[in-house]
């Protein structure tokens, strides 16, 4: 899992992004590998920070490994 974003920000601080990403995933609007621009559009603090948006997205992907602890990702 990408830990750099979670070491810089607490999981609670990332939760708003993770919640948004989950809603986006459930909507089926986009392939989640291309979701970083959606984060940038939704959250003004990410608008000019594509690297941070990508790190948040990678950290969100990593949460699936945590949820599926029995299965290797």
Burial of 15 by CB count in 10 Å (0-12 exposed, 13-18 middle, 19+ buried)?
exposed
Instruction: Quote the pLDDT of residue 35.
Output: 97
Instruction: Quote the pLDDT of residue 8.
Output: 59
The residues near 29 (Cβ < 8 Å, ≥ 6 apart) are 38
Between the alpha carbon of residue 53 and those of residues 14, 38, 65, 68, the distances in Å are: 11, 9, 19, 24
Instruction: Quote the pLDDT of residue 63.
Output: 87
Q: What is the pLDDT along the chain (73 residues), one digit of tens a residue?
A: 444 555 556 677 899 999 999 999 999 999 999 999 999 999 999 999 999 999 999 999 998 876 655 555 4
Residue 60: which of 17, 4, 13 has the closest Cα?
Answer: 17
Instruction: Quote the pLDDT of residue 69.
Output: 57
Q: Please state the domain extents for the chain.
A: 4-67
Please give the Cα distance from 9 to 5 (Å, whole number).
6
């Amino acid at each position: 899992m990408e830990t750099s974003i979670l070491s810089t920000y607490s999981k609670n601080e990332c939760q708003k992004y993770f919640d948004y990403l989950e809603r986006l995933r459930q909507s089926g609007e986009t392939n989640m590998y291309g979701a970083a621009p959606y984060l940038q559009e939704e959250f003004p603090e990410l608008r000019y920070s594509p690297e941070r948006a990508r790190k948040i997205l990678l950290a969100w992907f990593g949460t699936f490994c945590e949820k599926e602890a029995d299965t290797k990702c």
